[in-house]
Structure 1
Amino acid sequence: MADMSTLLLQALGPWRNAKAWHVALSGGLDSTVLLHLLVQLRKTHSLPPITAVHVHHGLQAAADAWPAHCQALCKGLGVPLQVIAVQVQAGASVERAARDARYQAFAAISGAGEVLLLGQHRDDQAETLLFRLLRGAGVGGLAGMPRQRRLGAGHLCRPLLDVSRAQLESYARTQGLSWIEDPSNTQTDFSRNFLRHEVLPILARRWPQAAASMARSAAHCAEAQGLLDELAQQDLHAAGSTSEFAWLGLPSLELTAIASLSPARQRNALRHWLSAFTSLPDTDHWAGWDALRDARIDAQPVWKLADGELHRAGGRIWWLAGEWLHQPIAPVLWPCPDQALALPGNGRVHFVGDIPDGPLQVSYRLGGEVMAQAQRGHRDLKRLLNERGVPLFARGRLPLLYRNEQLLAVANLPGLDSSPCGHWKLQWLPTSSDQGLS
């Protein structure tokens, strides 16, 4: 116990001042041992409050008895237990759907300054590395499960990654612990179970330290990925100049700064940047980046990804997601122009200064609009937008202020957003791009 306790305390050193530790308790061997170890340690060490969380997936009849098992375990250890029932979405992979539902539940209960503790061990890490290797993962994937990362408002930590399953089982038997054996863990039609029961034992017979060696390789890959992340941050900083259209509220980068890098550094920087917004493309799909980067200057290239689109405009690349991918509803009457007007799917507009006489409404471009300009007469709106270099993807969302059939103003564009005498201005706060963040 002393050795495992020491490893556990070392791994949890950065989190000793957390507001709370939540143990993800499946009732299996690893989470049972983790919870028992923590309860023993708090007898002699000052630790944050400990609670347990059991997620009930409802995927098999046997699982209905597991919450009661976990409740009995926690009662004996004097640890509060929270049971969360989740709905697993139907899909091609039950394993992945269950995992997604489980982690959504974990994220929901992780408050600021709190840590969720998972019991995954060294053998799990080796299994993860082998599984991802067979899927053709890169350095980031081969880094395996991270020891810690953000989760909801708090953090996730895996403090047992340096401990083998054999050590956990030896401890459990010595302490007289009982645990749940999930029947699905023996079904080798699941890829991970096949690796666990069929492949890894063969490797261990030939190389007894196979699991430890693979876990060590995962750690090397994690370190290498850290260096790649540092390089990406440097490259993204160089491409992070402020755009004159920063008020659009959209993430963007200077294209020239990215395109001047080697192809490998381009992909590395973009992976780092895009990972905050979307699932990353596979190797073959990166041809979409090449096409966007190399398109003609007068082209309007778009790279469609899982959760949004990358557009090129004005010498920059822009990330669009959520409501930015849909044309907003128009027209919208503005019965109380002294108050901000909410635009369905397109943020809100308001006046600065005096309020123009009505009746007023907001609409969007259809083509052929003209606008009266002081000392210039009536000018085609398309030409006015061209003169100001407004990105094409934004033109259909720019709020246009009308009084009857007269176009009075275009929000946020100097010279077009105000009355001829400058008594008022039309300001637009676009839809936040936060819905594009993962």
Structure 2
Amino acid sequence: MDLSARLLARLAPWRDAPAWRIAFSGGLDSTVLLHLLARLAKREALPPLSAIHIHHGLQAAADAWPQHCQKVCADLGVPLQVRHVQVATSASLERAAREARYAAFIESLADAEVLLTAQHRDDQAETLLFRLLRGAGVRGLAGMPNSRPLGRGWLLRPLLECSRAELEAYAHEQGLSWVEDPSNHDTQFSRNYLRHQVLPQLTAHWPQAVVTLARSAAHLREAQGLLDELAELDLAGAQTPSAFPWLPLPSLALEPLLALSAARQRNALRHWLAPLTLLPDSEHWAGWEDLRDAAVGAAPIWRLAQGELRRADGRLWWLSGDWLQKDPQALPWRDCKQPLTLPGNGCLRLQGRGPTGELQVRYRQGGEVLLLPGRGHRDLKRLLNEARLPAFVRGRLPLLYCADELLAVANLPGLHGPAEGRWQLIWQPPTNDQRLS
């Protein structure tokens, strides 16, 4: 079966997608993918095709690539979008460039659209070797999946079963032109070293090394699928609703996890954390043990790449985004008929006919008291303890004052407004996702 037929078969489940977007660097691999799809589109009913070129600006040679990509796309009749990105200074330039590139892809994808990238079997073998040398676990050694969610759409790698040699042969046969990235030959970069120094030595002794390495990655993907199924079973008992349905944070009940072996705990947490953050290496899992085994009255924190895992009142809570910012500041509320945006802390509104007077939103400093009918003045700290509100929420919980009198505590029944129910103080907390806050 030729490349076109194999590509079409790979993409068959995605023929109803609203659009196919091609990640087009201008290099050989993505040029072959673009050419194949443009030819298929002339005889097949495919979703609308377009290309995206990410310009990192990391080297002078790259300044000419957008113009080259424009010409190739114009010749093939494929619209092109050029996105300029800033690459953060990082110890790993490869990783920083990749993160910037995929952030731009995510911003470019609309609902259910598909991004097609041109990684092939040799790339899969390099990925397995690279991650093996970094001490990756099963999830990392499973290599690159054929498809995965990306932003509001999907990422597909339809050429993963094809070799680099096949793509090169097609490019020469079709007379294609492409750009050569000078950095691809710089063996200071780990992947380039594997590609130019290690894999040639392996294939000289084991000619099928690339094929067998890619096959091993497939076996490990299957093993990871079984581990994911086990994780789902183990998490089922822990994914109970919290006592605070208004708190929009991922959380788990701790007790069901404690009944599992240590290995199954780690497997379940890896599965749960994978959509939320980069996963820690084996040494940093000591942070989970410290959090798990801390004294009952403690408030332990496990800091990870994109956020923090906290333990409070028998639950694990994931915090990121605005939840990691400093404590919010007091604000006047001049018109309580209108919702009040709390910078970095969501939104506040009054339900019902609110109080009059000079209102202000404040936050806990210590020593606050609230007048409750039939109970007199009660210490706020004790009231929050009675409500079993997680400690990390208490410093962000809006308090409504008139002059120096505490009138209400947002969202907590019995504390969020007068007993007769004329009005209630409703807080919409920030989400973990900065874009959704």
- Name the TM-score, length of structure 1 as normaliser: 0.95
- The secondary structure found in structure 2 opposite 1:435 is coil
Q: Where do 5+ consecutive residues of structure 2 fail to align? A: none
Q: Please list the CA deviations of residues 179-210 of structure 1 after superposition, one character each: whole Å capped at 9, or x if unmatched.
A: 22222211111111111111101110111110
Counterpart of 1:272?
271
Trace 1:79-228 onto structure 2 (pairs within 5 A): 79-228=78-227
Distance 1:206 1:392, change over 3 A: same
Q: Which residue of 2 aligns with 1:349?
A: 348
Aligned match of 1:3: 2
Alignment deviations for residues 136-195 of structure 1 (CA, whole Å, 9 cap, x no partner): 011111111111112232211111111111111112222222222222211111111111
Please name the residue that 2:229 is paired with.
230
AA in 2 matched with 1:98: A
1:35 maps onto 2:34 in alignment: yes
Note the C-alpha offset of 1:428. 1.6
Return the offset for 1:243: 1.4
* Residues 131 and 192, structure 1, Cα contact 8 Å, conserved in 2: yes
- Answer whether contact 1:327 1:397 (CA < 8 A) is retained: no
Distance 1:184 1:331, change over 3 A: closer
Q: 1:198 to 1:387 in 2, by over 3 A?
A: same
In structure 1, what is the equivalent of residue 282 of structure 2? Answer: 283
Q: Which amino acid aligns with 1:403?
A: C
Aligned residues: 436
Q: Distance in 2 between matches of 1:75 and 1:436?
A: 34
Q: Is residue 358 from structure 1 mapped to residue 357 from structure 2 by the alignment?
A: yes
Q: Deviations over 1:45-90 (max 9, x none)?
A: 2222222222222222222222232233223323222222222222
Distance in 2 (alpha carbons) for counterparts of 1:436 and 1:78:
34
Q: Which amino acid aligns with 1:157?
A: L
Question: Given residue 59 of structure 1, which amino acid in structure 2 is its aligned partner?
Answer: L
After the TM superposition, which residues 247-266 of structure 1 pair with which residues of structure 2 at under 5 Å, given as runs? Answer: 247-266=246-265
Q: Which residue of 1 aligns with 2:25?
A: 26
CA–CA separation in structure 2 for the residues paired with 1:90 and 1:359: 48
Give 5+ residue unaligned stretches, structure 1: none
Give the C-alpha shift of residue 376 in structure 1. Answer: 2.0
Structure 1 residues 86 and 423, CA gap change in structure 2 (3 angstroms):
closer
Q: 1:105 corresponds to which letter in structure 2?
A: A
- Give distance in 1, aligned partners of 2:87 and 2:254: 41
In structure 2, C-alpha distance between the alignment counterparts of 1:326 and 1:101, rounded to whole Å: 23
1:295 correspondence with 2:297: no
Q: Is residue 391 of structure 2 the alignment partner of residue 429 of structure 1?
A: no
1:271-326 per-residue CA deviation (whole Å, 9 max, x = no partner) reads 12122222221111111111111111111111122222211111111112222233
Query: Cα RMSD over matched residues?
Result: 1.8
Check the 8 A contact 1:322/1:436 in 2, yes or no: no
TM-score by length of 2: 0.95
8 Å contact from structure 2 (residues 328, 396) kept in 1: no
CA 1:352 to 1:121, structure 2 compared with 1: closer, same or farther past 3 Å?
A: same
Q: What one-letter code is carried by the residue in structure 1 that aligns with 2:431?
A: S
- Identify the range of structure 1 (289-298 vs 25-34) with the bigger mean alpha-carbon deviation: 25-34
What is the letter of the counterpart of residue 137 of structure 2?
G
Match of 1:51 in 2: 50
**1:413 maps to amino acid:** L
Report if the CA contact (8 A) 1:320-1:436 is conserved.
no
Cα distance in 1 for residues equivalent to 2:209 and 2:423: 72
Q: 1:327: how far off?
A: 4.3
Once structures 1 and 2 are overlaid, which stretch shifts more, 44-53 or 387-396? Answer: 44-53
Distance in 2, matches of 1:81 and 1:344, equals 38
Question: Equivalents in 1 of 2:51, 2:323: separation in Å?
Answer: 41
Is the Cα–Cα contact under 8 Å of residues 136 and 281 in structure 2 kept in the other structure?
no
Q: What is the rounded CA distance, in whole Å, between the counterparts of 1:124 and 1:71 in structure 2?
A: 26
Q: Give 1:436 shift.
A: 9.3
SS in 2 for 1:433: coil
1:208-232 Cα distance to aligned partner (Å, 9 max, x none)? 1100111111111111112222222
Which deviates further from its counterpart, 122-131 or 53-62?
53-62
Q: Read off the aligned partner of 2:15 and give its amino acid letter.
A: R
Describe the shift of the 1:359–1:265 C-alpha distance in structure 2 as closer, same or farther (beyond 3 A): same
Q: Flag the 1:411–1:79 CA change in 2: closer, same or farther, 3 A.
A: closer
In the alignment, the residues of structure 1 paired with residue 315 and residue 56 of structure 2 have an alpha-carbon distance, to the nearest angstrom, of 45
Deviations 1:328-347 (A, max 9, x none): 43332222122222223222
Partner of 1:334: 333
For residues 87-106 of structure 1, give each alpha carbon's deviation from its aligned partner in whole angstroms, at most 9, with x where no partner exists: 22222222222222222222
Identity percentage over the alignment? Answer: 63
Residues 143 and 326 of structure 1, relative CA distance in 2, 3 Å threshold: same
Q: How far apart, in 2, do the equivalents of 1:269 and 1:356 lie?
A: 48
Q: Distance in 2 between matches of 1:127 and 1:251?
A: 35
Query: 2 CA distance for matches of 1:368 and 1:362?
Result: 16
3-state SS of 1:318 partner: strand
